[in-house]
Chain A
């Protein structure tokens, strides 16, 4: 599989453009498009070498082998470096390197937003910024513009490649649940050692950040300038508030039969709201499934869910409630319900990853676990499911995959899914060897909605036994509480477990 681009990356939520092979660009075609960068730019980018290490969700007490990623960061105002979040996700050690002379400095992550795929780095040594020129940002990019993708030769020589903006749309970022404004560029890039993440400039201003590159079609998906500006503006405040979302899913109303049934005029446009996140902004403001969304503020919504953006033209209305808005801000949604128009003010806010029943990403957070007598209990996360590999949707336990995919529909209450992930065999677990990946309903008669409740219930065995009840066969098992306690130290020693729990 030569899918240099999205394929491998979906599984981890990371995008690699460096790994497999150089872009198959013929020399003669590439050369004329590359030119030495103007001198100012030389001092606006730095190499970023990040050593990252992720947790092993199958053995939640361990980390997997460390690996390194390299990319270019943009020097911005305030003594910060801007990079993509995936470059420095789960980083243990970040090293910056200047293009001229290779002077190095250590950096740490200042603010990181995995959904918007951006991060700022703080540099340990302020003197590192001498001879570096911060880049201003720009949002004045439209389809048809030519931008420059910045790269660096291994000897530090800057290289700039022209890239044509072919489309501007709301597209999927590194985390599959999030979509933001994205530029698609056509550009013949040659593989270089620092191609993981690259700044893209227009008139010496930072216009976008390369996030994915497909070498076959020679297309770049780039984080758009407005997203960068939104992130930087939010990052300037403490605490970081990030990007809001409306918390609804819509479908087009192009079908004339559907429009007639809904009594929609052709001039109305409008989209059908088929899902409203239960505790999201739209739900809290009273938007319901089945409502027709006609307008957001003064922007008319067309039957496909687009509005007319002054620069980009037709653009998904998602942009209005994410990048264009800030948490706490209100938008007025005009809806049609039972044939009547209503205006509903919706206060937008951010949905924190911790608010999901099954967290869609777990970058940088150690997985929680609780080991009881050799039975390993965890909270379900999508990262756990992804450990089954690229085919995880089919290979991972199907109940868990189903719970993840349909979580907003299945679980009205705020909760997590606690499940028995595996068994570390001991004398306490004889007869239980074959069971795994079972969702816990109750422990010692108490309903379990997260791992903290599980730990609490584990402190209260009934009549000397832990009774664990599952959603699937065998539905109930028991452990001898006294024996489990007595064997705990031995269990920890045999399997070299640093701790029997992390909550």
Chain B
């Protein structure tokens, strides 16, 4: 399903039939962004990656800043911005990026770019069926384009840029195409959203999505401190209490209130605060309906929306029904790093260690996408990393991902895609552990894997003899890159 959602990489909006003053207005705010990016190659992790380019939209906001989508500027090596009324092209850099909400703020080095620009202000969540205009630089021409539509739906959706985060999303029926991304969606002269993704025409017609202003405002507020902390998460799963017998067994009345906590991640905010089997009756004094919805600003929304608007270190208060007794639980909010292995990762090179022609990499979304692994154990480790808390024993799941054939590893090919458990006497929990174990002097390096698998044995002398040969043969620029772990 998420695969069908296409990021509308680049787009700008203007009214084709708009009145003259409006078009002039947007021309002072709309920005065309051309990005040259380099995609890391997880199968050849020492390669700098292939270079590609794209065009997207953005718009000027207060403080001489440009707001756009994170996916417009991800993995960027060089960014230029330009305006409709200015022939010059200005280099820009990413000041803040939130991959979990697909938003980024750009900084233009040459301040003269902002002469004669008008920062756009933000509105609220537009009403269903109200009209909006979408501005950007979509395919079909070079200059700004505008499409128009109405608000079709307001709901939670997965943000395909990270692939794992879900936030409030507004669906519109205006066409959103590649090139629209990052462009403003306007109503009554104010930004009510940022166009960011849609379905391709083969899947659904006229279904486009914008990031609504609660998400944008949260992002802009988060970066005020000079750093983007990102979303916080309760890190629980809950079950709707719609079954009468279940309600009665838990000692609840038939009042259609409350959801049951089904699991609590031990690395997340709620660890030690909430328990499996707790019934959540209200969140920050908003009663939780038995389907997990709350009333907020006159709208019926998923209870997650309460937490969505909070920041790292904020608290959320629950009225909890536990063992047929009510109590109040305060949960201090934070992120949950184990989720990150299932999220798309950007802006830093793939992590790996190469030793004796054996490539070791931590399991991640990018890894799984690159290798299309069929190995059942590996797929289990990936799929159940969070639910089975595999991160307790393996904060990073280190995989023998590839073998660069050489006499030193001639008999090890059947061990590809095994999960490393131990090297010599060292338990392997992270990629750092791998690098450290191989840095130690030892006559033999005995690599043991998870499960009933034979060990791989490398002799130090053989590895040393093979080293330069492998580096030269396979054009390996670096033997390892171990920075940038997501583990907290």
Contacts and interface: CB of A to CB of B under 8 A. Distances in A.
Contacts of A463: 249
Interface in A252-272: 252, 254-255, 257-258, 260-261, 272
Given A406-B377, A472-B387, A261 B446 contact: yes
Interface in B80-126: none
B425 interface: no
A152 interface: no
A258 B242 contact: no
Interface string B243-286: 11110111000000000101100000000000011000000000
A275 interface: yes
B452 A473 contact: no
Given A261-B446, A473-B239, A409 B379 contact: no
Contact of A465 (B240, B249, B262, B379): B249
Contact of A261 (B262, B383, B414, B444): B444
A483 interface: yes
Given A398-B379, A480-B248, A289 B243 contact: no
Contact of A409 (B374, B414, B451): B451
B262 A480 contact: no
Interface stretch (A96-104, A209-217, A313-321, A424-432): A424-432
Nearest to B261: A475
Interface stretch (B14-22, B39-47, B357-365, B456-464): B456-464
Interface string B192-226: 00000000000000000000000000000000000
A464 B376 CA distance: 41
A405 interface: yes
B392 interface: no
Contacts of A399: 380, 384
A170 interface: no
Interface residues of A, number: 41
A274 interface: yes
A476 B277 contact: yes
B242 A430 contact: yes
Q: Which of B414, B444, B457 has the most CB of A within 10 A?
A: B457
A467 B249 contact: yes
B249 A430 contact: no
B411 interface: yes
Given A254-B411, A257-B457, A289-B452, A428 B376 contact: no
Contact of A255 (B376, B387, B412): B412
Contacts of A393: 374, 376
Contacts of A354: none
A411 to B, nearest CB: 13
A417 to B, nearest CB: 15
Contacts of B263: 473, 475
B376 A260 contact: no
A479 interface: yes
A473 B374 CA distance: 25
B472 interface: no
B246 A249 contact: no
Contacts of B327: none
B243 A431 contact: yes
B454 interface: yes
Contacts of B412: 255
A262 B411 CA distance: 15
Interface in A395-430: 398-399, 401-402, 405-406, 408-409, 428-430
B237 interface: yes
A62 interface: no
A409 B384 CA distance: 17
Contacts of B374: 393-394
A251 B380 CA distance: 24
B246 A406 contact: no
Nearest to A260: B459
Contact of A274 (B444, B446, B452): B452
A39 interface: no
B410 interface: yes
A465 B239 contact: no
Given A274-B452, A472-B387, A478 B458 contact: no
5 contacts: A252-B411, A428-B245, A476-B260, A477-B243, A478-B243
Given A274-B454, A406-B376, A465-B245, 4 more contacts: A289-B452, A401-B376, A475-B276, A476-B276
For the complex of A and B, list the 8 residue pairs with the smallest distance between their C-beta atoms, beginning with the closest.
A431-B242, A255-B411, A474-B239, A275-B452, A431-B243, A478-B249, A480-B245, A251-B454
